[in-house]
Structure 1
Amino acid sequence: MDLLLLLLPIAAPLLAALGYALAGWRRPTAHLGTAAAAVILGGAIALAVRVTRDAPLDALGGWLHADALSAFLLLVVGAVATLACAASPGYLAAEHAHGGGSGRRYGVLVQFFLAAMCLGALAGNLGVAWIAIEATTIVTAFLVGFGHTRAAVEAAWKYTVVCSVGIALALLGIVVLYDAARHAGLSEATALNPRVLTAHAGALDPAVTRMATAFMILGFGAKAGLAPLHAWLPDAHSQAPAPVSALMSGVLLAVAFVQILRVKQIADAALGPAFARTLLLITGLATLAVAALLLLAQRDYKRMLAYSSMEHMGLIAVAAAIGTRLALAALLLHIAGHGLAKTVAFTASGHLLRAEHTTRIDQVRALAIRRPALGGVLAAAILALLGLPPFSLFASELGIARAGFAAHLGVPVTAAFLLALLAFAALARHTAGMLLGDEDPGASGGATQPVAAARLGPAAWGPLVTGLVTVAALGVTAWPVTTLLGLAAQGGR
């Protein structure tokens, strides 16, 4: 039974991928991916109930593991995937109706992507986690270049090169840590098990562990969108199909960052909290600074959302550096809120691109008047990302600030929130211009010319409204996941 619970979230998207490969993207199979994502969400709920009531689960000799942190991350993957997959049929029908082959390819790649992320969430071994993260790089490279434009192909290559460098650094760190574990007397089967490594951290060589930690934080940080290996993120997110951008921003970054949390747990036990804290503070503040400055000068609304993802990952890195139970609980709540809100924002941006035929901010004006429903959804998603109540990011950011001052890290936390405020101002200014700016019928190439309205049915509005309602509900009360959050913030159970 335990093995089935752990394998189900990985197997469901693989079976959906097989269905797309055999039957293609047709009306009867269009929502096969949504069904697989719903199975992931259902499996995550079952795992969450199991680990909160009993104990963490292990299978296949510890290669797969589910604790409270894994279950919470899988919940986020399932929720975001369900929304993004539900939005995919409408997107594909509008943008790629010219050939069934594109639909087949899209369905197979997205489901492989989901399977890899589920494997990363449930990996009980750093080597397995590395394989899963690398698999996401391979699969999403084809999804980033799915449009076959010159910009999309360039973005795919940039994404592949930068992330390959990062994941190579992570592999180097894993190899170094494996060597330290073997010299400490751990067996081959347990030398990369995070729980075993944490329990035997006192036997690890400090200098070697320090080197391995730095490589893994830098390497996995590349996939999490953290500076300095962040350059792939705005290009990839702006060129990928809107539902794929939602998955990449909403959960891929989170799955990669959770590996950093696992590494930090080992490093704190072996070296004390100062080393990993310093690395994460530097990385988080640098990411926030880059995101805030580039948001100020941004001209493309999809790239704007990508830099917003960087800003939130910078805040998450600062929360991880604080490392207290409150900080980690706020971090995980922030991951959930950001994933859901960014899914709505990217999906809405896909509908906006279809309607306006441009991603230029200065060519999209008066949305509140011309397209009030779509403009309202986009505005609500941006308000959630800005951390305003009642959305959950307000509660999580407040929790990060409280935890930082309680841990006597007032100076770096203040710097982090000042940079976040700068990003807040830039994002608000750009969005206000799109929603409320004066319509200029004479703009060259502007989308304010008479454009046929993009008709969105219930299937298109459903994921958007559901995502917003869920983020708001988590901001009002987190009771469905309170116990799970508490256990995950303690490092599992």
Structure 2
Amino acid sequence: MLACGAVLAAELPGAAPLTACGRLLRADALTAWMLLVVGAVATVACAATPAHLAHERPDAPAARRYHLLVHAFLAAMSAAVLAADLGVLWVAVEATTLVTAFLVGHRRTRASVEAAWKYMVICSAGIALALLGTVLIYYAARQAGVPEAAALDWTVLAAHADRLDPDVTRLAVGLVVLGFGAKAGLAPLHAWLPDAHSQAPAPVSALMSGVLLSVAFAGLLRYKTVADAALGPGYTRGLLAGCALLTLALATALLLGQRDYKRMLAYSSMEHMSLIALAAAVGTPLALAAALLHMAGHGLAKAVAFCASGHVLRLLHTTRVGRVRGLLARAPALGTAFGLAVLALLGLPPFSLFASELGIVRAAFAAGAGGYAAAALVLTLMAFAALAARTARMLLGPPPPPPHGDPAGTPVRLGPAVVLPLAAGLLACAVLGVTAGPLTRLLTAAGELLGGR
């Protein structure tokens, strides 16, 4: 997937999009960027998988089932980012729900099965709303005279948007924002996210938080392009800005009182998806390019953070923040990777989230949405303080009592199979923060495509 994304990234900027399967699939600048993001995060997560499965020691059928589900999950996300037809997009996003429900319940404990059912119920309800919105868009397109075969092609819809019924389109887009917002972890249908991310195996949590949320939001951006052409940018700006600020406020409040580090990372995902939603609300090419960069940086940092948290759980047998002390002294490499991943999530340089957040704020003030940006900055600062304080409690302090069988209390040393995926993810996130290099043209083209240019 990463190689295919790289080939498309080299070919597509300045060239016509590629289509296949009767124009149901389309590869454009946004597709290439999202394939790169999914491929990079999946590389980190899958490279970390053997170490996690070795600890769990699943039987052979369970291990085969796990790998089959992970690859089906990646295939569904690839289909979602390649879909030109909004119906195919909906089917692919729903497929991710069905597949990941089994991955969330992989351990078959009471808590994991409960989280899987909660995930299925809430996300299926959200996707049902998105289906109704998609049907209404199809109805508006047919009433506008768009041929049946192209009535859900988002590029055709955008070209004929001035003929769509405004009332029907407004209702459809509202339902779609609620439905795909549920998959992206936006309020009010966000309650599945902390349970699912905390109960799934660490590599699966990395994939769900790192790219599933972003893939769902990238699908929402396709609908937004049609809505802006049909209704003007004001309607989606109000919807997305409201969802963004509500989600950010909830995530901040929950982070302030959080005592479980895996759930803490899940609420951090809500925070970052709300910033992406704010950038989409602004809607300028700069804001959208910053949102896409934020998806990449968040995916890499969150993949490292969740994979590292899985190793912390394996080492200390607890997910409670209060029971983890002196991680840097106990396992220096693991503590360093986890700490750097949190620093990246806090948006500190040189990591790419610093550049993307700066771009989002600049674009918001330039577009006259400074009030939204100011409110988001205040809430983000509070979330920053909560996440930093809890991470510092885990990393710093005196070494814990020596583990059983280790009277000297020597630091735990991790092998290359554990360290290398974490280091690679952090390095990629830092490089993106310094320069996008050859990806700059791709990122600019994707932002302009979503901005209606």
TM over 0.5: yes
Shift of 1:197: 0.3
Query: Residues 226 and 310 of structure 1 are in contact (CA less than 8 Å); yes or no, is this contact kept in structure 2?
Result: yes
Is the aligned partner of 1:75 residue 2:36?
Answer: yes
Within the alignment, does 1:50 sit opposite 2:17 as a pair? no
- Tell me how far 1:440 sits from its aligned partner: 6.4
Contact 2:282-2:367 at 8 Å conserved across structures: yes
Residue 461 (structure 1) aligns with: 419
- Map 1:28-47 → 2, pairs under 5 A: 40-47=1-8
Structure-1 separation of matches of 2:409 and 2:261? 19
1:87 corresponds in structure 2 to: 48
In structure 1, give the amino acid aligned to 2:276.
Answer: I
Per-residue CA deviation, residues 108-144 of structure 1 (Å, 9 max, x unaligned), is 0000000000000100111001000000000000000
1:166 to partner: Cα distance: 0.3
Paired with 1:428 and 1:291, the residues of 2 have a C-alpha distance of 15
Shift of 1:60: 1.3
Structure 1 CA distance for aligned equivalents of residues 228 and 428 of structure 2: 34
Question: Which deviations, in whole Å up to 9, do the C-alpha atoms of 1:58-81 show, x marking residues without a partner?
Answer: 111210001101110111001111
- Per-residue CA shift, 1:367-416, capped at 9, x if unaligned? 12111111111000000000000000000000001001001111111001
Tell me, in whole angstroms, the C-alpha distance in 2 between the residues paired with 1:168 and 1:363. Answer: 41
Aligned to 2:112: 152
Q: Percent identity?
A: 64
- Does residue 318 of structure 2 align to residue 358 of structure 1? yes
RMSD: 1.8
Distance 1:94 1:274, change over 3 A: same
Q: After TM superposition, give the deviation of residue 449 of structure 1 in Å.
A: 11
Are 1:355 and 1:451, in contact at CA under 8 Å, matched by a contact in 2?
no
Distance 1:452 1:217 in 2: 52
Paired AA for residue 473 in structure 1: V
Q: CA shift at 1:454, angstroms?
A: 5.9
Matched, 1:424 2:364: no
Matches within 5 A, 1:448-487: 456-487=414-445
Q: TM-score, normalised by structure 2?
A: 0.97
Deviation readout 1:34-58 (Å, 9 max, x if unpaired):
xxxxxx1001111111211421111
1:84-163 alignment, distance < 5 Å = 84-95=45-56, 97-163=57-123
C-alpha contact 1:355 1:453 (8 A) present in aligned 2: no
Unmatched segments (≥5 aa) in structure 1: 1-39
2:329 to 369, 373, 394: 369
TM-fit CA distance, 1:189: 1.1
1:480 shift after superposition? 2.2
Aligned to 2:285: 325
1:405 aligned to 2:365? yes
Runs (5+) with no aligned partner, structure 2:
none
Establish whether residue 379 from structure 1 lines up as the match of residue 339 from structure 2.
yes
Asked if residue 263 in structure 1 is aligned to residue 223 in structure 2, the reply is: yes
Matched, 1:273 2:233: yes
Check the 8 A contact 1:241/1:350 in 2, yes or no.
yes
Q: Secondary structure of 1:61's partner?
A: coil
Deviations 1:192-218 (A, max 9, x none): 111000000000000000000000011
User: 1:76-99 CA deviation, whole Å, 9 max, x = no partner?
Assistant: 00111111111111111111x141
How many residue pairs get aligned? The number is 450
1:220 aligned onto 2:155: no
Q: CA deviation at 1:452?
A: 9.3
| Contact 2:329–2:398 (8 Å) recurs in 1 | no
- 1:172 & 1:455 partners in 2: Cα distance? 53
Q: Normalised by the size of structure 1, how large is the TM-score?
A: 0.89
Following superposition, the deviation at residue 248 of structure 1 comes to 0.3
Shift of 1:441: 5.0
Residue type at the aligned position of 2:309: S
**Letter of the structure 1 residue corresponding to residue 424 of structure 2:** T
CA distance in 1 between partners of 2:39 and 2:149 (Å): 30
Take 2:243 and 2:410, find their aligned partners in 1: how far apart are those partners? 45
What SS class does the counterpart of residue 26 from structure 2 fall into? Answer: strand
Assess if the C-alpha contact under 8 Å between 2:330 and 2:410 holds in 1: no
Contact 1:356/1:451, CA 8 A, preserved across alignment = no
The CA distance in 2 between the partners of 1:103 and 1:296, in whole Å, is 37
State whether residues 350 and 430 of structure 2, in contact with CA within 8 Å, keep that contact through their aligned partners in structure 1: yes
Structure 2 residue aligned with 1:249: 209
Aligned partners of 1:49, 1:440: CA distance in 2, in Å?
50
| Equivalent position to 1:203, from 158, 163, 181 | 163
Distance across 2 between alignment mates of 1:316 and 1:91: 30
* C-alpha deviation, 1:456, in angstroms: 2.7
How far is the alpha carbon of 1:439 from its aligned partner?
Answer: 5.5
SS for the counterpart of 2:125 is helix
In the superposition, relative to structure 1, how do residues 399 and 278 fare at CA in structure 2: closer, same or farther (>3 Å)? same
Task: Please give the alpha-carbon distance, in whole angstroms, between the structure 1 residues aligned to 2:237 and 2:128.
Answer: 23
3-state SS of the aligned residue for 1:65?
A: strand
| 1:21 match | none
Matched, 1:491 2:449: yes
Which of residues 122, 135, 148 in structure 2 aligns to 1:188?
Answer: 148
CA distance in 1, matches of 2:58, 2:364: 53
Task: Give the Cα–Cα distance (whole angstroms) in 2 for the partners of residues 470 and 55 of structure 1.
Answer: 29
Q: Secondary structure at the residue paired with 2:19?
A: strand
Instruction: Determine the C-alpha separation between the residues in 2 that align with 1:303 and 1:45.
Output: 33
**CA–CA distance in 1 between the matches of 2:105 and 2:248?**
27
Query: For residue 264 of structure 1, what is the amino acid of its counterpart?
Result: K
Secondary structure, in 3 states, of the residue corresponding to 2:148?
coil
Shift of 1:227: 0.4
Q: Give the Cα separation in 2 of the matches to 1:481 and 1:417.
A: 28
